[in-house]
Amino acid sequence: MSKRSDTKTTRRRFLTAAAAGGAAIAMPQVSRAQTATLKMQGSWGKADVFNEMAEDYVKRVNEMAGGRLRIDYLVGGSVVHPFQVFDGVHGGQIDAAHTVTVYWYGKHKAASLFGTGPVFGFNANEGLGWIHNGGGKELFEELQTQIMKVNIKSFFAMPMPTQPLGWFKKPINSDADLKGLKYRTVGLAADLFQVMGASVAQLPGGEIVPAMERGVIDGFEFNNPTSDRRFGAQDVAKNYMLGSHHQATEYFEIMFNRTKYNALPAEQKAILQYAAEAVSSANEWKGMDYYSKDLQELINKDKVNVQRTPKSVFDAQIKAWDGLIAQLGSDPFMKKVMDSQKAWVRRVVYYNMTNATDYRGAFEHHFPGVLKV
């Protein structure tokens, strides 16, 4: 046999063996080809930017799963009320939800500590750092599995900017203007404003503007300029107060029925987790773009009077939080959570504030006169 024949034979044997090996490698994929489908409902109306951000998460899961796992997404109210997704996921009426912990804080006030708790000096990005690396996720797992014993597994995403004090028919010039005001907020912020003398109504986003039109409320906050503008806040009020200590940090809670979650193979569980981490950055970057554009539209097109919340309101909120912190701390678990947060803040925020450059000075150098506060 010639060398050329030997070469052809060897090559043919190699290709045959490679094909056989490839088939052997591919065979396990067949067992993973069956699709698991999860039904997820958001807490958001169709037009809300938060609904779009929920869809961003679903898109990442579905594309990364390659057909082996799929989330079908439904807007708020499709199966359960937007404030009832916690019960829906726990009870199995829906498999998953895109929401915020503050919407179920009535079941345990510790829920608000994982999104809209006292202001210790950390922003939402630093708060997500605490959740991921400072003990927060372990404490939340303890709350779910040991204290509340609910059938829910959750991930967190999207460090939200400070939520504005909100929308008012007249500007808020001091903390005295809040006394007796009928005001919409949610969670521990409701307790905070009640201490400050306001009369609080807790309403989902879609019910806020109609309540303002009917005079049920005199002022409200929701979350950000884009959400506010999309549901028509500028049509019922023209004074928008930016900055507040009532909800200085918040994140989305992406929750799953724990029984359904535990039944998934390890790689699908990993996709659900890592998609939350990926979309956290994507949502934040989208918010930077959307929120800043819509704030300019509110100012220039809708002729909204945008002002910075007065210092007296911030000072009054800090004092009100002090009283609430003392009350919340009577619960051992809530004290443990707040102590964990404060330890993180003392170390991390000290570093960040000590190290951060003078961003304001640089901004005012290049854009003199733009900042009015």
CATH of the domain at 297: 3.40.190.170
Structure tokens at 55: 């869809």
CA distance 351 to 126: 11
State the Cα–Cα distance between residues 171 and 308, nearest whole angstrom.
10
Residue 152 in domain: yes
Domain presence at residue 316: no
> Per-residue pLDDT for 3 more than 90?
no
For 191-224, what is each residue's pLDDT tens digit? 999 999 999 998 877 889 999 999 999 999 989 9
- Residue 45 pLDDT level (bands cut at 50, 70, 90): very high
Cα separation, 303 vs 312, in Å, equals: 26
Which residues fall in the annotated binding site?
163, 184, 221-222, 247
- Report the C-alpha gap between 242 and 298 in whole angstroms: 13
Kindly report, residue by residue over 252-286, the tens digit of the pLDDT.
999 999 999 999 999 999 999 999 999 999 999 99
Which of the residue ranges 20-24, 46-50, 54-58, 304-308 would you say has the lowest mean pLDDT?
20-24
Let me know if residue 60 belongs to a domain: yes
In a domain, 317, yes or no: no
Structural domain contains residue 172: no
Domain coverage including residue 261 = 36-160+248-302
**Residue 29 pLDDT greater than 60, yes or no:** no
Which residue reads 């506060």 in tokens?
Answer: 373
Q: Encode pLDDT of 280-338 as tens digits.
A: 999 999 999 999 999 999 999 999 999 999 999 999 999 999 999 999 999 999 999 99
- Could you count the other beta carbons within 10 Å of the beta carbon of residue 26? 9
Percent helix, strand, coil in the chain, to 5, is 55, 15, 30
DSSP 122: -
326 belongs to a structural domain: no
Task: Please tell me the predicted confidence (pLDDT) of residue 34.
Answer: 61
Q: State residue 47's pLDDT score.
A: 92
254 in a domain, yes or no?
yes
Residue 66 to residue 212: CA distance in whole angstroms:
46
Do 157 and 254 form a contact (C-beta atoms < 8 A)?
Answer: yes
Q: Residue 190 corresponds to which tokens in the numbers above?
A: 């409701």
Q: What is the pLDDT, as a whole number, of residue 35?
A: 84
Annotated binding site for Na(+): 222
In this predicted model, what pLDDT tens digit does every residue of 228-260 receive, in sequence order? 999 899 999 999 999 999 999 999 999 999 999
- What rounded mean pLDDT belongs to the chain? 91
For 152-193, write each residue's pLDDT tens digit.
999 999 999 999 999 999 999 999 999 999 999 988 999 999
pLDDT band at 17 (very low <50, low <70, confident <90, very high): very low
Q: Interior CA angle at 192 toward 188 and 193, to 5°? A: 120
The answer to whether the Cα torsion of 46, 47, 48, 54 is positive or negative is positive
Q: Which residue has the higher pLDDT, 19 or 71?
A: 71
Radius of gyration over every alpha carbon of the chain, rounded to an integer in angstroms: 25
Domain total for the chain? 1
In this prediction, residue 26 carries a pLDDT of 43
Give the residue carrying structure tokens 């057909």: 67
Binding positions for substrate are 163, 184, 221, 247
pLDDT of residue 358: 96
Look at strands 152-157 and 252-257 and give their pairing. antiparallel
CB atoms within 10 A of CB 126: 20
User: Per-residue pLDDT for 31 more than 60?
Assistant: no
Query: 32: pLDDT confidence band, cut at 50, 70 and 90?
Result: low
pLDDT above 70 coverage of the chain, percent: 91
Residue 193 lies in a domain: no
Give the separation between CA 344 and CA 183, rounded to whole angstroms.
32
